[in-house]
Amino acid sequence: MPPTQLVRLLTTLSAAADIVDAIGDPSRGESRGWDLAGWRYELVPWGVCFSRRDEPDGVSVLAASVPAGWLVAVVEARPETDTGSAILAG
């Protein structure tokens, strides 16, 4: 599943929890038509960060509860410049 498709699924904290469960038990994701092979997650304060196992310095998707509501951001690391960029998706 590409990051853009993952972002569309991350509508709430509950949806993020469903994706975490599906990464841990692929049959849960398969029953919903999700191919989460290659994705991993890391719990962060008030949310979860999803990244590709095969691209440790690649694109990450951060989903978190923030005071203004729900935030989903696609973060692209740029290790060659020690910078990154983020696209807010929600």
Confidence of residue 40 (pLDDT cuts 50, 70, 90): very high
Q: Is residue 77 over pLDDT 70? A: no
DSSP-H helix ranges across the chain: 3-9, 13-24, 26-30
Residues with Cβ within 8 Å of 39's Cβ and at least 6 positions away in sequence, in order, are: 1, 6, 23, 50, 51, 52, 53
Count the domains in the chain.
1
Overall average pLDDT of the 74-90 stretch = 54
8 Å CB contact between 64 and 43? no
Residue 31 sits in which domain range? 3-88
At 30 the pLDDT is: 95
The two three-digit tokens of residue 14, written as one number: 């509950």
At 82 the pLDDT is: 46
At 65 the pLDDT is: 83
Calculate the average pLDDT of the chain: 82
Q: Is residue 50 over pLDDT 70? A: yes
Distance from C-alpha of 47 to C-alpha of 43, rounded to nearest angstrom: 6
How far is CA 41 from each of CA 44, 68, 84, rounded to the nearest angstrom? 9, 23, 19
